[in-house]
Structure 1
Amino acid sequence: MNSRHWAILSLATLVILSEGVLAACPKSGVRLPAGNLSRALISMGRQCKISVLVQTTSATSYTLPEQILDSEDGEFEPALQQLLQDSPFTYERVGPSAVAVLPRKIEAEEAAQPLPAHTEEITVTGRSLTGSHLRHLQLDSYAPIDVLAQPELEITGAQTIAELLKFLPAVSGNSTSTSVSNGGDGTATVTLRGLPASNTLVLINGRRIVNNGFGGEAADLNSIPLSAVDRIEILKDGASAVYGSDAIAGVVNIILRRDFEGLSVNSYYGRAQRGDQQTESHHITWGKSTERGHLMLSLAHYSQGALMSRDRQLSATSDNRARGGTDLRSSASPSAYIALDDGQEIVTNSASGGYREWTQADRYDYREYTSAVVPSQRQSAYLEGNLDLGENTLLFAELMGIRTAAKTTMAPTPVFTRFDNGDLAIAADNIHNPFEQEIVDVRKRVLELGPRLQKNRTDTWRLNSGVKGMWDSWQWELTAALHYTRATEKLNNLIDPWALSMGLRDPVTCDGQSDCVAINLLGPSGSIDAEQVEFIRGESLVDGTTRMTSLTYVVNGALGSNGAGNILAAAGLEARREAIDFRSNDAMGLSFIGGSASGSAVGQRMIGEAFAEISVPLAEDKFWLDGALRFSEYSDFGNTGNPKVALRWRPSPSLMLRASYATGFKAPTLIDMNQTGYQSQEYLFDPCTSRDAPTLPGCRGQADDARIQYLTEFGGNRDLQPETSDNRSLGLVWTPQQLKGFSATLDLYDIRQNDVIDTSPQYLIDRNAHSGLFTHRVLRDESGDITKILATRLNIGAREVRGFDLAMRYEHISEDIGQLRWSLNSSHMQRYLNQAAPGSPVEDLAGTFVDAASGGAGSLPQWKANTGVYWHKGRWEGGYTVHFVSELEESFTLDETRVTREISNWSTHDLQLAYSLPLGLRFAVGIDNLLDREPPFAATAFNDNFDGRTYDLSGRYWYTTLAYNL
């Protein structure tokens, strides 16, 4: 489905929709809890599937008893009139599925100011949107914001936040999830604008959270249960002036449920049509209000089954020559590749018991063992409560605990005696060496160990508690936070390099060591017996903890009036301590063979920050000047100040123009500054393996062209400085009065980033080969083969990302067909300029794919979009969504020639239908990837021949949910 057809489908859907009237409530009546008016309206909005806008400062002070409102015909307005009949409030319709509840004393001209017509959340006014501590309506914000609210979360069928965000148009690049097998760690991250995950700030309820325990570079989305989420706001603009570090690409703010009333039980089951990846989810939520407070508890369990590479045609083999790619099978085969002194390359002949010449056909296809989607489990508990202390003061607390576990399966451990850690030369007189010469280069897949199993587990605890209240027209909040994450990783069936080294020595040396067993790497598969296996077997252990404690005070309100309107202001202080303790059992400098040495990092920092915002109206209801400033003091690298300035102009009631400029920063992580001993076998390309290698200044002749992995040692740097950015945006918001329920936004963005922290081992290799540089970092042996790459983190990179977002939304209701909503959300990446280091060429990566395993930025499609139609009438509701990713280009070497090929565009169609049964039951069935379209083939993708960070391998996927709400 090309982009032209996709656009025609979207526009045709819009034409089908027409105007109508207001929506439906449960015919059995609307049950409202005791409490204030704001809480009653929230409950009413959820039950009637309608957006209720209310000024919380006045609605929270008006209390109501528990009651049931009549709605025999399912009409919303009579029920609302009944609720407000004896109150000092009235209402106005501001769209086909939205009403505003206002104090009766408000003048008509004040009540008639433009309000959004679409149901993106239940209560919009009286709180701050993501990106500001001031209180704006969403379409009045000076920055583009996507909002995914409860009705939209339900209709997607998503069971995790990572699954929900994966197909958002603004998300591209190297986010992680359980769809990333080899190289994954059970965590999930989000990458806005294709920038690294550490450039996107993740918040919960507008507050910073602790980063994951596996390195602490970004927040783990898997540690936030979707069942506890009320809505998700995605700010697609820099926000360091408001939130501080990491908010360069944008902010994902996850708003948890806080006003839930009653009992909700939900069960989900799904599986791929091919019978695998069985997934189930169960959660229960209970909430109760009293006249003085509210208490809510949510418990959830999630379990995802495995999808193995061998069970899909696309991923079943790593030999991609038939598809126009290369042979990515490993030269480490069960039969053992052996290089002799006379230049012979031989392999064991299992049939005859002898040896024969090694050929490319002897490469090993490891996909028989690997998992493509990692099985995982999560259990969570979320407790929320508040207590009215009187005098407009509220005490609140939020406690969340979650445990996640994942198990990745990888092929049995390969051994490369010439290139792995340790002295692995096989002695001439080793009892298993029939060649009577020292053998340096053996490449063998040790099937006898069994597949490698990587087990990840994370325990996360978060506590936020504080007091908030009102003083005159000002709101204030004091919050204390204590966050803790512990992550462990066990990777077994590896090889201990010290034990293997001893087992390959001569009999005298081996016998001189306690319990030494001679190892036979030169025999056919099966020649390594149980005693040998247990002698060399190793297990990599990683244990990491991250901690964050903070104290934050924020106040916002009106400074006064200048004749054009109220001058809004906010200010605050924050003190924060961050700490990391990350250790592994291979921290002595040698990684277990088949794994990677994670090394260690121990460090902490103190941060003090002060911030302020202001919004000044320059012309009444037409022109505003907005500004923000945040000053940050870090105990390790120093201080930084970041401003933001924005203009909003409304030339007509239906049109608003907005522009902003801001600077941003990303502080070097504690891993960046403190890590030591991290080693990994990286997938890289050495130009010295090409036939023209003798002509390159840094090459000593042609190196071994069978290698695709190189031992790389990474390291921290205490002298690192923050990454810095300049963010520019220009946009318009159109809400035509002639077409009620329609809104459109167009926003241009430009992000320029300097002092990017990078290691770029591929850059080091390229400069070493082509210019003879970095000889102290790229270590080669006498034959010119790379033995190790030393890649310390440096502030060396620069980027510029430019593009635009286009979103349209239309809603209407009619008595005949019910409520219909159509939406289009798209993002175009015009360019992604990347310079790995000063003096290196500037590359435009927009529209390209370079795998993360090769140090690339992943998939950066020029177009990414989704569109859908969502319907609700009476007890029925349904949704139909189309996701689209445009074509990409990738480059690689094929038969000594540099080849550029196209990765085709990809689209999927998702369908869901739900029916609400009597007594609060809701049943839904859905199909993801309705047309069963497999991801496009990528010749350079390390995992499973496609980019698991951008596409989905499952194929057609069926699921069903059953929910009960009381």
Structure 2
Amino acid sequence: MSLGRQCQVSVLVQASSAASYALPKQQLNTNDGDIEPILRQLLQDLPFTYELLGPSAVAVVPRKPEPEEQGALSQGHTEEISVTGRMLTGSHLRHPQLDSYAPIDILAQPELEITGAQTVSELLKFLPAVSGNSTSTSVTNGGDGTATVTLRGLPASNTLVLINGRRIVNNGFGGEAADLNTIPLSAVDRIEILKDGASAVYGSDAIAGVVNIILRRDFEGLSVNSYYGEAQRGDQQTGSHHLTWGKNGERGHLMLSLAHYRQDALMSRDREISATADNRSRGGTDNRSSASPSSYIALSDDIVLTANADGSYRPWTQEDRYDYSEYTTALVPSERQSAYLEGNLDLGDNSQLFIELMGIRTSAETTLAPTPVFTRFDNGDLTISADNIYNPFGQEITDVRKRVLELGPRVQNNDTETWRLNLGLTGMLNSWQWELTAAQHYTHASESLSSLIDPLALSLGLKGPDICNSESDCIPINLLGPSGSIDAEQLDYIRAESLVDGITRMTSLTYIANGTLGTSGAGDILAAFGMEIRREAIDFRSNDAMGLSYIGGVTAGSAQGHRIISETFGEISLPLVADRFWLDGALRYSNYSDFGSTANPKVALRFRALPSLMLRASYATGFKAPTLIDMNQSGYQSQEYLFDPCTGRDAITLPGCRGQADGARIQYLTEYGGNPDLQPETSDNRSLGIVWTPAKLKGFSATLDLFEIRQNDVIDTSPQYLIDQNASYALFSDRVQRDEQGEIITILATRLNIGAREVRGADLAMRYEHNSDMLGQLRWSFNASHIQRYLNQAAPGEATEDLVGTFVDAASGGAGSLPKWKANTGIYWKKGPWEGGYTVHFVSALEESFTLDNTRITREIDSWTTHDLQVAYALPGGLRIAVGIDNLFDREPPFAATAFNDNFDGRTYDLSGRYWYTTLAYSL
């Protein structure tokens, strides 16, 4: 395998065919890392030939003189890339053929290098199968410094993320999904994305699919890489540096990879689309806040005043709304350091000891506008007494909305420390390969949010001298003056900082064995079995003010809990007709200490109808266990951006309304809670596909796969759903609490198994590779994902909505962007020292709905197409320089009137504009 390591190519060899042949150690030269001349030299006197399987994989196969058989052999080329002795994502079997019963996207090392991506989340964001509410540093208000991936538009907790085929610990802020920011891209060899349910193979969470991140192994030598990029407008400076060293010895191998990454901020005010929250000129709504620096003071239903700079008052108007975009970060600055150690030691007797140790520190700093105060709707008794020393009106005032600029911007700091240790033994026994792995994973995440307001201190400060006086150490607070009227003494009295601290742990012991169970008349019967015991734990706490959220922030509450999971699993691949027809099956039994047990099967058929045509179909059940947060969280409060139908002119006709509520409100106090009686979400997954590899068009392959996911018992906490039902049908009055005027005071949104989903669509992939002495290596690829329908039912008995082709922001409890089509295509070229790539990304148009002037509006969010260009040159002596341009034609993201963050969906599109970067690498 040293040949593959030197040329950075995976070499697939069928051990049973090549076991009796040995080649002496020899020195062979290659021009520019081209592996083909060497292969021809090595195999010229042997009964073998080779097949190119892609840009970074080659198969050494027996030489067969018959043309028909030769053509049939070449048809093994599908979209999967494998390395000797490793299983494909989605199975523990070592298939002798490269065919898979499920579609898999592969991002291999050469493709990773040419993209210029510096993080795993950046690399996955534009994949066609990824849509919905993933998180990243592009999510400001509501982000926590983590990055997740969402396949098929389902929540991130429905996509399982693996490293080297093994489960990893979830993030420390909530334990709902793995944090991609804790996986350094510099240590990644390839990424395999399985676009099919895989609970029968991997257990919980693999409903939408699996992202398997394969780390670099067996690297020998020294590699140093530096990257610098900057947006054309002079911001978002990004730099990364990594060093990888590896050494092979007589009995083992050791590799160390170190990396540092830093991304600077992009501010909302520095892009036209995000510079203001007032979108009336674009046909949207005015999303500026009614909490203005000069105060919104409601003396009665008809009299609302605001303060002038000289302390006098005038009527408040809509033009007094506050534009918070001046302060906010649209792209969060972040920094990461990582170290990855990998090694193995040959113990003899066909066994080997291995270790994988990774440590990562991440940090992110989000800037938000200064804290707003809504005395009528925030936590605590915030009524301003008639005798408050700053109250000139001589009456009690309950509704004041003020942006406290004097506190300065809120700054949210997120820090994460993650450690992963995998230690194990692997070996061969006859035809069986086995592996025993012990794992210890730990993540500690902390979050601080400064320049908040303590509701208890503010409550006292708004009262009269009989309550707020020197004896009570109380400082009177002035919310009724112009901006600047709150002095330093008052600020020190009410200033607060929220702190959140979360730890997640995972300890596991896993045994897996796979090999040949026997032989039938049609071929070898492949089998795998294994067992796993795992302990998961979470300890999540916040410093809320006696159960009340600090004003301007959220109360994350707390959650403490653990569970023990015991699982057994098995797989089999049974050939029914030699080299033509296979039956594959898998079954996994899982027992959870907190909710019980579940068994999930999978069955698949593969049929090679013609040498160039393979059909595949599968059916599986899946499940997603409720997270420890789902079951144990308490005290989580937030001011959510929601819409109350009782603010409309027709409120008087709605059974749940007591009159027309305040239309200026856009945020409502929401309290979330866990539920220890939750049961797993369940699913049925079906797929039907075709793989075409025509012999007359060598190097071309095409796949078309239809998929359907039906999901039940979905765990939901939708406060918007509760409000809608309460207003329209007078339901959930115990959960949507209103005052005598009909204004919402609090929404209680406890998690329940109430939802159902159905997602149906298709994946299309085409690839063509051509090699010639004149042109070099040319590769073209096309990858598209189509969602035909996305049916969502919020609760049993409720209407089912088809969300396909729509956008509903996550801040409003929506599923995000669900485009009907998402695709990319690209052409990649390599000849001698030169290498280049050109990629086009496409997202189809969407629809969104909102209320404007009491009229329901539906508008189109434009489609979006961007172009990326990269060129690289390999210099003598191991140097390589690359330059690239992302978003070549400087396309801004399409405007979305209902997008809370910066007037576009940062989870789907990119705000940077034209972006330049360069990479300098040295390999020895």
Normalised TM-score (structure 1): 0.93
- Give the match for residue 633 of structure 2: 675
> In the alignment, is residue 745 of structure 1 matched against residue 703 of structure 2?
yes
CA contact (8 A) 1:412 1:445 kept: yes
CA contact (8 A) 2:80 2:105 kept: no
- Once residues 936 and 76 of structure 1 are traced to their aligned partners in structure 2, the CA distance between those partners, rounded to angstroms, is 44
Structure 2 counterpart of 1:55, one-letter code? Q
Task: Please point out which of 899, 923, 945 is paired with 2:903.
Answer: 945
User: Secondary structure of 2:4's match?
Assistant: helix
- Give the match for residue 43 of structure 1: 5
> In the alignment, is residue 221 of structure 1 matched against residue 204 of structure 2?
no
- Once residues 262 and 62 of structure 1 are traced to their aligned partners in structure 2, the CA distance between those partners, rounded to angstroms, is 28
- Give the match for residue 240 of structure 2: 281
Structure 2 counterpart of 1:737, one-letter code? A
CA contact (8 A) 1:139 1:733 kept: no
- Give the match for residue 876 of structure 1: 834
| CA shift for structure 1 position 233 | 0.2
Task: Please point out which of 701, 716, 723 is paired with 2:674.
Answer: 716
- Once residues 554 and 295 of structure 1 are traced to their aligned partners in structure 2, the CA distance between those partners, rounded to angstroms, is 24
Offset from partner CA, 1:112-165 (integer Å, 9 cap, x none): 753468697875453210000012378510011001000110111000000000
Q: Map of 1:644-683 to 2, 5 A cutoff?
A: 644-683=602-641
- Give the match for residue 594 of structure 1: 552
> In the alignment, is residue 398 of structure 1 matched against residue 376 of structure 2?
no
> In the alignment, is residue 582 of structure 1 matched against residue 540 of structure 2?
yes
- Once residues 166 and 293 of structure 2 are traced to their aligned partners in structure 1, the CA distance between those partners, rounded to angstroms, is 52
Structure 1 counterpart of 2:660, one-letter code? Q
CA contact (8 A) 2:81 2:106 kept: no
Offset from partner CA, 1:337-382 (integer Å, 9 cap, x none): 00014731000011x4200000000000000000000000000000
Q: Map of 1:369-768 to 2, 5 A cutoff?
A: 369-511=327-469, 514-586=472-544, 588-768=546-726
- Once residues 449 and 16 of structure 2 are traced to their aligned partners in structure 1, the CA distance between those partners, rounded to angstroms, is 54
- Give the match for residue 301 of structure 1: 260
Structure 1 counterpart of 2:311, one-letter code? G
Distance 1:811 1:533, change over 3 A: same
- Give the match for residue 880 of structure 2: 922
- Once residues 937 and 896 of structure 1 are traced to their aligned partners in structure 2, the CA distance between those partners, rounded to angstroms, is 21
- Give the match for residue 127 of structure 1: 86
Task: Please point out which of 851, 860, 864 is paired with 1:893.
Answer: 851
> In the alignment, is residue 158 of structure 1 matched against residue 158 of structure 2?
no
Offset from partner CA, 1:803-856 (integer Å, 9 cap, x none): 000000000011111110000000000000000111221000000000000000
Q: Map of 1:56-95 to 2, 5 A cutoff?
A: 68-71=27-30, 76-83=35-42, 90-93=48-51
User: Secondary structure of 2:93's match?
Assistant: coil
Structure 2 counterpart of 1:473, one-letter code? S
- Once residues 97 and 450 of structure 2 are traced to their aligned partners in structure 1, the CA distance between those partners, rounded to angstroms, is 50
Structure 2 counterpart of 1:720, one-letter code? L
More displaced stretch, 167-176 vs 132-141: 132-141
RMSD between superposed Cα atoms in Å: 2.0
Offset from partner CA, 1:879-900 (integer Å, 9 cap, x none): 0000000000000001100000
- Once residues 228 and 831 of structure 1 are traced to their aligned partners in structure 2, the CA distance between those partners, rounded to angstroms, is 37
| CA shift for structure 1 position 760 | 0.8
CA contact (8 A) 1:303 1:376 kept: yes
- Once residues 98 and 372 of structure 2 are traced to their aligned partners in structure 1, the CA distance between those partners, rounded to angstroms, is 56
Task: Please point out which of 760, 780, 789 is paired with 1:831.
Answer: 789
Task: Please point out which of 288, 291, 297 is paired with 2:250.
Answer: 291
- Once residues 919 and 747 of structure 1 are traced to their aligned partners in structure 2, the CA distance between those partners, rounded to angstroms, is 45
Distance 1:517 1:616, change over 3 A: same
User: Secondary structure of 2:663's match?
Assistant: coil
Distance 1:602 1:622, change over 3 A: same
- Once residues 52 and 848 of structure 2 are traced to their aligned partners in structure 1, the CA distance between those partners, rounded to angstroms, is 49
- Give the match for residue 310 of structure 1: 269
User: Secondary structure of 2:131's match?
Assistant: coil
Offset from partner CA, 1:778-798 (integer Å, 9 cap, x none): 000011000000000000000
- Give the match for residue 231 of structure 1: 190
Distance 1:654 1:120, change over 3 A: closer
> In the alignment, is residue 53 of structure 1 matched against residue 12 of structure 2?
yes
Distance 1:894 1:179, change over 3 A: same
User: Secondary structure of 2:347's match?
Assistant: strand
Distance 1:122 1:845, change over 3 A: closer
- Once residues 41 and 566 of structure 1 are traced to their aligned partners in structure 2, the CA distance between those partners, rounded to angstroms, is 29
- Give the match for residue 267 of structure 1: 226
Structure 2 counterpart of 1:795, one-letter code? N
| CA shift for structure 1 position 83 | 4.3
User: Secondary structure of 1:951's match?
Assistant: coil
Where does the alignment leave 5 or more consecutive residues of structure 2 unmatched? none
User: Secondary structure of 2:325's match?
Assistant: helix
- Identical-pair percentage: 78
Q: Map of 1:315-334 to 2, 5 A cutoff?
A: 315-334=274-293
- Once residues 75 and 541 of structure 1 are traced to their aligned partners in structure 2, the CA distance between those partners, rounded to angstroms, is 54
> In the alignment, is residue 349 of structure 1 matched against residue 308 of structure 2?
yes
CA contact (8 A) 1:564 1:621 kept: yes
User: Secondary structure of 2:113's match?
Assistant: helix
- Give the match for residue 17 of structure 1: none
- Once residues 795 and 135 of structure 1 are traced to their aligned partners in structure 2, the CA distance between those partners, rounded to angstroms, is 38
Distance 1:65 1:602, change over 3 A: farther
Distance 1:339 1:455, change over 3 A: same
- Give the match for residue 852 of structure 1: 810
Offset from partner CA, 1:750-792 (integer Å, 9 cap, x none): 0000000001111111111111111110000011000000000
Normalised TM-score (structure 2): 0.97
- Give the match for residue 145 of structure 1: 104
CA contact (8 A) 1:125 1:136 kept: no
- Once residues 848 and 671 of structure 1 are traced to their aligned partners in structure 2, the CA distance between those partners, rounded to angstroms, is 29
| CA shift for structure 1 position 80 | 2.6
- Once residues 64 and 295 of structure 1 are traced to their aligned partners in structure 2, the CA distance between those partners, rounded to angstroms, is 25
- Once residues 331 and 138 of structure 1 are traced to their aligned partners in structure 2, the CA distance between those partners, rounded to angstroms, is 64
- Give the match for residue 911 of structure 1: 869
User: Secondary structure of 2:466's match?
Assistant: helix
CA contact (8 A) 1:661 1:729 kept: yes
User: Secondary structure of 1:736's match?
Assistant: coil
Distance 1:728 1:513, change over 3 A: farther
- Once residues 743 and 683 of structure 2 are traced to their aligned partners in structure 1, the CA distance between those partners, rounded to angstroms, is 39
Paired positions, count:
923
- Give the match for residue 367 of structure 1: 325
| CA shift for structure 1 position 965 | 0.6
| CA shift for structure 1 position 404 | 0.3
User: Secondary structure of 2:27's match?
Assistant: strand
User: Secondary structure of 2:698's match?
Assistant: coil
- Once residues 108 and 472 of structure 1 are traced to their aligned partners in structure 2, the CA distance between those partners, rounded to angstroms, is 34
CA contact (8 A) 1:124 1:138 kept: no
Structure 2 counterpart of 1:307, one-letter code? L
CA contact (8 A) 1:377 1:406 kept: yes
Distance 1:196 1:99, change over 3 A: closer
- Give the match for residue 914 of structure 2: 956
| CA shift for structure 1 position 71 | 3.3
Structure 2 counterpart of 1:522, one-letter code? L
More displaced stretch, 493-502 vs 70-79: 70-79
- Once residues 448 and 408 of structure 2 are traced to their aligned partners in structure 1, the CA distance between those partners, rounded to angstroms, is 15
| CA shift for structure 1 position 587 | 6.9
- Once residues 112 and 936 of structure 1 are traced to their aligned partners in structure 2, the CA distance between those partners, rounded to angstroms, is 47
Structure 1 counterpart of 2:519, one-letter code? S
| CA shift for structure 1 position 89 | 7.3
- Once residues 884 and 387 of structure 2 are traced to their aligned partners in structure 1, the CA distance between those partners, rounded to angstroms, is 65
Offset from partner CA, 1:14-48 (integer Å, 9 cap, x none): xxxxxxxxxxxxxxxxxxxxxxxxx21322442xx
CA contact (8 A) 1:116 1:139 kept: no
